[in-house]
Amino acid sequence: MRATRLLGPLLLVLALGAPAARAADDRIIPEYVSAGGVDLSLLTVDEATAKLAADPGLHRSLRHDAVLRAGARTWRLTMARAGLRFDPAATARRAALVPTPVPPDGSEENGGSYAGVEVPLAVRHSRAAVRAFVAGVARRSVIAPRNATLRITLRHMRIGKARLGRRLQKSSAAAALNTQLAGIERAAVAGRMLPVRPRTTIRSLRRAYPNVITVDREHFRLRLFHRLRLSRRYGIAVGMAGLTTPAGFYRIQDKQVDPAWHVPRSPWAGSLQGQTIPGGAPDNPLKARWMGIANGVGIHGTAEDWSIGSRASHGCIRMHVPDVIDLFDRVAVGTPVLIG
């Protein structure tokens, strides 16, 4: 006859309780009955209680730590922390209630063995302690997601890729540990790591920046990036010495077709200071389109095509008329503009 052995230990640690005082129990446990791998065949309940309480192998198994794997690390839950209690008397009484097992015909006569009936151990533990343990592991094992990043330069959109994070699924890990603490099997629990998505991805950056304009004053080049990819290049003129086109990060503030020119009160404007020149007028230097940036500076068409590729304006960004019309139709108010 061979009693069933449970699988080998691997996980948690237990504080074992002594059996409570009680009246003698002479009930006989049937043959082929075991608990925790301890054979209880034909013992009285009292004898089985004493045998379970004294079995060193059973107690070593019950004291094994529980192991939870989360990501690349492992954590151990001691049975003392789990508040594990084993009741040998209750286990023996369970064994006495098992109907007499009937082994298969001829199993022993033919040299075979019969595993018999394995009675669950009477153990209890603190589920609150398991939840607290799992919550602590979850905090320490979480991998924060990495957001995608964007750095706008004159020639390139520098994109940092996003990365998924990971977090422990606490409910399934706690359930698996609670199940193990009901017996002596201590196989490591592999915690399920759930993906944590970053708030900012390359896709969301493309939505947030459908178009970006950069103005390279040194090389007289305006670039249009569409969905963070270079889409168009245009030749430009920028501000002359003393009236430099201001560097910085701006956005298009307004758009106008055939804009009027509100002449600034500046010495270079001469007798036109303070006047408003209607759109389309021969003496209006703002040709075809206007995209205002800041402080009276904007992007506009020019009739002085010879000036493209030079420092010739009073601070604005000049473009060939066909180019400014093309750009105007591609961008909206709020489009970022980097001038460098």
Distance CA 247, CA 222 (A): 13
Give which of 128, 131, 196 is closest to 170, Cα–Cα.
131
Question: Per residue in 121-149, is it b (16+ CB within 10 Å) or e — as a string?
Answer: bbbebeeebbbebbeebbeebbeebeebe
Confidence label for 309 from pLDDT (cuts 50, 70 and 90): very high
Confidence label for 11 from pLDDT (cuts 50, 70 and 90): very low
Q: Which residue has the higher pLDDT, 282 or 21?
A: 282
- In the chain, domain spans: 33-140+167-192, 209-339
Give which of 154, 155, 149 is closest to 248, Cα–Cα.
154
Is 320 annotated in the active site? no
Three-state secondary-structure class, residue 142? coil
Token digits of residue 32: 């082929």
Q: For residue 6, which amino acid is it?
A: L
Distance CA 183, CA 56 (A): 16
By residue count, the chain amounts to: 340
> What is the pLDDT at residue 299?
97
Q: Check if the beta carbon of residue 65 is closer than 8 Å to that of residue 93.
A: no
Distance CA 213, CA 231 (A): 10
Residue 7 confidence (pLDDT) above 60: no
Residue 1 confidence (pLDDT) above 60: no
Q: Check if the beta carbon of residue 316 is closer than 8 Å to that of residue 291.
A: no
Phi and psi, residue 88, nearest 5°: -60, -40
Mean pLDDT, range 163-173, rounded to an integer: 97
> What is the pLDDT at residue 2?
34
pLDDT tens-digit series, residues 177-209: 999 898 888 889 999 999 999 999 999 999 999
Please write down the long-range contacts of 150-155, taking CB distance under 8 Å and 24 or more positions apart.
150/205, 150/209, 150/228, 152/212, 152/214, 152/249, 152/336, 152/338, 153/214, 153/338, 153/340, 154/214, 154/215, 154/216, 154/223, 154/338, 154/340, 155/214, 155/216, 155/223
Question: What CATH number belongs to 209-339?
Answer: 2.40.440.10
Mean pLDDT, range 280-306, rounded to an integer: 92
Among 64, 125, 300, 320, the one annotated catalytic: 300
Phi and psi, residue 336, nearest 5°: -65, 145
> What is the pLDDT at residue 114?
66
Tokens 């206007």 sit on residue: 290
Give which of 64, 166, 164, 203 is closest to 123, Cα–Cα.
64
Distance CA 269, CA 262 (A): 11
Residues 6+ apart with CB under 8 A from 49: 19, 25, 88, 89, 91, 92
Q: Give the pairing of strands 211-216 and 33-35.
A: unpaired
21-30, 148-157, 213-222, 251-260: least confident range: 21-30
Token digits of residue 220: 């007289």
Q: Check if the beta carbon of residue 134 is closer than 8 Å to that of residue 164.
A: no
Token digits of residue 266: 């500046």
Give which of 247, 251, 208, 200 is closest to 227, Cα–Cα.
208
pLDDT tens-digit series, residues 128-157: 999 999 999 999 999 999 999 999 999 999
Among 64, 125, 316, 320, the one annotated catalytic: 316
Q: Check if the beta carbon of residue 287 is closer than 8 Å to that of residue 316.
A: no
Is 316 annotated in the active site? yes
Residue 56, classified by CB atoms within 10 Å of its CB into exposed (0-12), middle (13-18) or buried (19+), is exposed
Confidence label for 100 from pLDDT (cuts 50, 70 and 90): confident
Confidence label for 6 from pLDDT (cuts 50, 70 and 90): very low
- In the chain, the N- to C-terminal Cα span, in Å, equals 89
